[in-house]
Amino acid sequence: TLRSVGLFPRFFLRIRRAMSSGNDTAGIIVIGDEILRGDIRDTNVYHICSRLRAVGIRVERVSIIPDVVPVIAEEVRKFSSSYSYVFTSGGVGPTHDDVTYESVARAFDEDVFVHPEVLASFQTLYGPRSGADLAISKFATVPRSSKILFGDIQRPGRVI
């Protein structure tokens, strides 16, 4: 799966500049069957929590959930009505179980589409590869209202 932690330094700088009060809260949703099974260890929550604390945002809840669209959609919906910021970790990539973007879209009754600029960025990064078009297309499929934040080519970022 695509790890978007690399975009956080710039993102947290933007949060620091935009903060209007010290009452901002955050919720973190970690998505992945492999974490729930104990196959891999989550390493993102510590990083996200420490960076948020450094800019004055209080993390109030962390949830670890499976790669199941209705479960993710419901958790995103609940978190977005409860916290100033919602972060997701996991479930973004080219495989069948990477369903975070689809789930976020469903949480807000939106459709997804292949974003042309994101698609072009991945095509530039990976070039023409046999059989890779579908995987690249999946990386570029985002909720329609997404605002895309482009970092450098190795760390594309998305705000949904």
Q: Are 126 and 84 in contact (CB under 8 A)?
A: no
Report the amino acid identity of residue 29. I
Residue 159 lies in a domain: no
Q: Is residue 123 part of a domain?
A: yes
The H-or-E segment that residue 45 falls in is helix 44-54
Q: Determine, yes or no, domain membership for 158.
A: no
Q: What is the CATH number of the domain that holds 112?
A: 3.40.980.10
Work out the burial of residue 34: count CB atoms within 10 Å of its CB; fewer than 13 is exposed, 13-18 middle, 19 or more buried.
middle
Please report whether residue 44 resides in a domain: yes
Residue 97: inside a domain, yes or no?
yes
Tell me the average confidence (pLDDT) per consecutive run of 10 residues in the chain, 160 residues long: 37 49 89 95 93 93 97 96 93 82 93 89 73 75 83 52
- Separation of alpha carbons 140 and 120, rounded Å: 9
Examine residue 9 and state whether it is found in any structural domain, yes or no.
yes
Residue 156 lies in a domain: no
CA separation for the pair 151, 85 (Å, rounded):
20
pLDDT at 26: 95
Domain range for 31 is: 5-151
Q: Is 93 left (phi over 0), alpha (psi -120 to 50) or beta?
A: left
Give strand ranges (E) for 7-71: 25-31, 58-65
Q: Residue 155 has what pLDDT?
A: 52
Check residue 10 and give its pLDDT. Answer: 44
- Would you say residue 160 lies in a domain? no
| pLDDT on residue 21 | 63
How many domains does the structure of the chain reveal?
Answer: 1
pTM of the model: 0.78
